[in-house]
A and B are shown apart, each in its own frame.
Chain A
Amino acid sequence: MQKVGITTTVPVEIIYAAGMVPVDLNNIFITAENPQALVEEAEMAGYPRNLCAWIKGIYATVQKRDDINTLIAVTQGDCSNTHALMETLELSGVKVIPFAYPYDRDYDLLKLQIEKLMDAFGVNWRQVNEAKERLDAVRQKVWKLDELTWQQDRITGWDNHLYQVSCSDFNGDPEGFAGEVDAYLAQVPEKPKLNAELRLGYIGVPPIVDDLYDYLEERGARVVYNETQRQFTMPFATDDIVEQYRLYSYPYGIFYRLKDIEEQTKLRQLDGIIHYAQSFCYRQIEDLIIRQKLKVPVLTLEGDKPNKLDARTKMRVDSFIEMLR
């Protein structure tokens, strides 16, 4: 089946409806054997050093793979670096299909974008709605996993992250992925209780390091809310796919995202929030709004290179935990 690369979450129902397989390039990049080598490859090609490592990683990932020749790039609702990513990939012969989330969450504009994407893949509404039904069945299982994360104390922050973040493309195999989730859920009652009295939220893009959650848990704090990863599971009960991607908060402004964050902070009784922002990302500016608006203590972490926490970040995490105690 033909693979279609995606740079962030897009209406994947359309890709599945067309009988193709979406591939979230972020996941391929970060789970590569040596993601830092991919970043360096992009720098060798001419990408600046002071630029988001995710963009560089995606660039080198697509260059390396000969099975990804088509790419949906989110031109609005993600970042402007994506524009240059699209252009440099187009230069090397990749077919790029743009998709834009309207800034003001306008229903009609979003519907138009979805229809344009449907045209590009030659699918109709019936097919798309069928695909939505198929994917929703899988999403519901992951909702359960998320619910158990904060209502009980057996699911680690990493597992919560991993299963939710996988919902951007369902690992290219929704039913196979659903089976994995089922198997995981069946094991949950047997899992050891986590010994972590502090309850944290994690907001912002998924982390470029893979040891943050474990590091926190070793120190008595656990993440029971992963903002963006949860959004990837489309946790909204709606039959309308346009409305679904209108409720989805990640591509829209910070004030809309904050509504969701505030709601979940209260519901999940969070003691503190970690706001992660990638080095050189415009979202670092939004940190000041987040700090003003949220009522719980916020630790801002900046990540640059994959794959491990550095000593300074660890020092800051330690101090934050100490402060919350």
Chain B
Amino acid sequence: MYAGIDLGSRNVKVALLDDNREFSLHKFDTVSFYREHGRLEDGQLVVNLSGLGLGNVNLKAVVSTGYGRQTINLKGARNIPEIKAHVTGAVHLTGLDNFTLLDLGGQDSKVAKVVKGRMIDFETNDRCAASTGRYLENMAAVLDIDMEELSRYYENPVDLTSTCAIFGETELIGKVVEGHPVSNLAAGVNYTIFKRIKPMLIKLSSPTVVFTGGVAGNSALRRIIERELDVEVVVPKHPQYAGAIGCAVTAWKNNEK
């Protein structure tokens, strides 16, 4: 069995790949994952995998990625860059070779152009997390709706101009006061995400966009991208696990070499 671990900012995702090439997927809250299952040994994170409740796992190799890998090396695991993990996961999940990968996570937005299964260029957000999952969570909280409700609306968006996730809240409250219906406000929130990622998607455009990461569950955003950019948007099954699956696939392929 092979394990891929994506140490995300919001969740730690674990993908286990068994000998029948079947995945089992597991998700942990990042903070409690570090608190309850990890301990530091010589500056490396040691995770008690048997304590995760994943059953009896006999691991041949572990590959990890994610924001956490910069600060913590997972002991016994090989670390690979996040974008590589996500591209590998997306190729594996979709079977596609030529596409633009859009991965929107808790604090990250990444866009990569993939040609013949290889990444040829990429862009990421930098210095600012306004186009990420955390922003959507904040805005949903302001509107007092859940993420599922938020992701329903894309028609008649109110115009939100602030690019800052925090000032955006103030602006949104202003719009609430003006009396706009929740549907238009939610559509406006979804559009702000689109506006932030649009330049990256255009720069690295392909006819097909593979959309992964936790935010890929937002179907309104998927519709907006399709409509505004005239592209096909493919959301693989379990989009949030693309990085972990990419790690598990890397572990498996490296081991078979």
How would you classify the secondary structure of chain B's contact residues: helix, strand, loop or mixed? mixed
* B-chain residues with CB within 8 Å of residue A279 when the two chains form the complex: 127
Question: Is A322 in contact with chain B by the CB < 8 A criterion?
Answer: yes
- A270-325 with Cβ < 8 A to chain B: 279, 297, 302, 304, 311-316, 318-323
Interface residues of A (CB under 8 A from B): 279, 297, 302, 304, 311-316, 318-323
Q: Are B67 and A323 in contact (CB under 8 A)?
A: no
* B-chain residues with CB within 8 Å of residue A297 when the two chains form the complex: 121
Given A311-B71, A315-B82, A318-B81 in contact, is the A323-B119 Cβ separation under 8 Å?
Answer: yes
A271 to chain B, nearest CB (A): 14
Known: A312-B124, A323-B119. 19 other contacts (CB 8 A): A302-B127, A304-B127, A311-B70, A311-B71, A312-B126, A312-B127, A313-B126, A315-B67, A315-B70, A315-B81, A315-B83, A316-B124, A319-B81, A319-B122, A319-B124, A322-B81, A322-B119, A323-B120, A323-B121
- Top 9 nearest A-B pairs (CB, nearest first) are A311-B70, A318-B81, A319-B83, A319-B81, A322-B84, A322-B81, A314-B70, A302-B126, A323-B119
Residue in chain B with minimal CB distance to A302: B126
* B-chain residues with CB within 8 Å of residue A315 when the two chains form the complex: 67, 70, 81-83, 124
A122 to chain B, nearest CB (A): 46
Residue in chain B with minimal CB distance to A299: B122
Bound together, the chains give a CA A64 to CA B80 distance in angstroms of 45
Q: Are B81 and A311 in contact (CB under 8 A)?
A: no
Q: Mark B102-129, 1 if CB is under 8 A from A, else 0.
A: 0000000000000000011110101100
Bound together, the chains give a CA A259 to CA B146 distance in angstroms of 54
Bound together, the chains give a CA A304 to CA B70 distance in angstroms of 19
B84 to chain A, nearest CB (A): 5
Chain B contact residues (Cβ within 8 angstroms of A): what range?
Answer: 10 to 19
What would 24 A/B residue contacts be, using CB atoms closer than 8 Å? Answer: A279-B127, A297-B121, A311-B67, A311-B71, A314-B70, A315-B67, A315-B70, A315-B82, A315-B124, A316-B124, A316-B126, A318-B81, A319-B82, A319-B83, A319-B84, A319-B119, A319-B124, A321-B81, A322-B80, A322-B81, A322-B83, A322-B119, A323-B119, A323-B122
Bound together, the chains give a CA A279 to CA B126 distance in angstroms of 10
* A-chain residues with CB within 8 Å of residue B71 when the two chains form the complex: 311
Bound together, the chains give a CA A258 to CA B184 distance in angstroms of 47
* A-chain residues with CB within 8 Å of residue B67 when the two chains form the complex: 311, 315
Residue in chain A with minimal CB distance to B203: A291
Bound together, the chains give a CA A314 to CA B82 distance in angstroms of 11
- B122-154 with Cβ < 8 A to chain A: 122, 124, 126-127
B153 to chain A, nearest CB (A): 31
Residue in chain B with minimal CB distance to A288: B203
* B-chain residues with CB within 8 Å of residue A302 when the two chains form the complex: 126-127
* B-chain residues with CB within 8 Å of residue A314 when the two chains form the complex: 70
Bound together, the chains give a CA A134 to CA B124 distance in angstroms of 47
Residue in chain B with minimal CB distance to A318: B81
Bound together, the chains give a CA A304 to CA B82 distance in angstroms of 23
A87 to chain B, nearest CB (A): 28
* A-chain residues with CB within 8 Å of residue B82 when the two chains form the complex: 315, 318-319
Residue from A318, A319, A321 with most neighbouring chain B CB atoms (10 Å): A319
B163 to chain A, nearest CB (A): 13
B253 to chain A, nearest CB (A): 15
Bound together, the chains give a CA A115 to CA B93 distance in angstroms of 68
Residue from B67, B70, B82, B120 with most neighbouring chain A CB atoms (10 Å): B70
Bound together, the chains give a CA A318 to CA B64 distance in angstroms of 14
Residue from B67, B81, B83, B120 with most neighbouring chain A CB atoms (10 Å): B81
* A-chain residues with CB within 8 Å of residue B122 when the two chains form the complex: 319-320, 323
Bound together, the chains give a CA A313 to CA B84 distance in angstroms of 15
Bound together, the chains give a CA A312 to CA B71 distance in angstroms of 11
* B-chain residues with CB within 8 Å of residue A321 when the two chains form the complex: 81
* B-chain residues with CB within 8 Å of residue A320 when the two chains form the complex: 122
* A-chain residues with CB within 8 Å of residue B119 when the two chains form the complex: 319, 322-323
Q: Mark B80-95, 1 if CB is under 8 A from A, else 0.
A: 1111100000000000
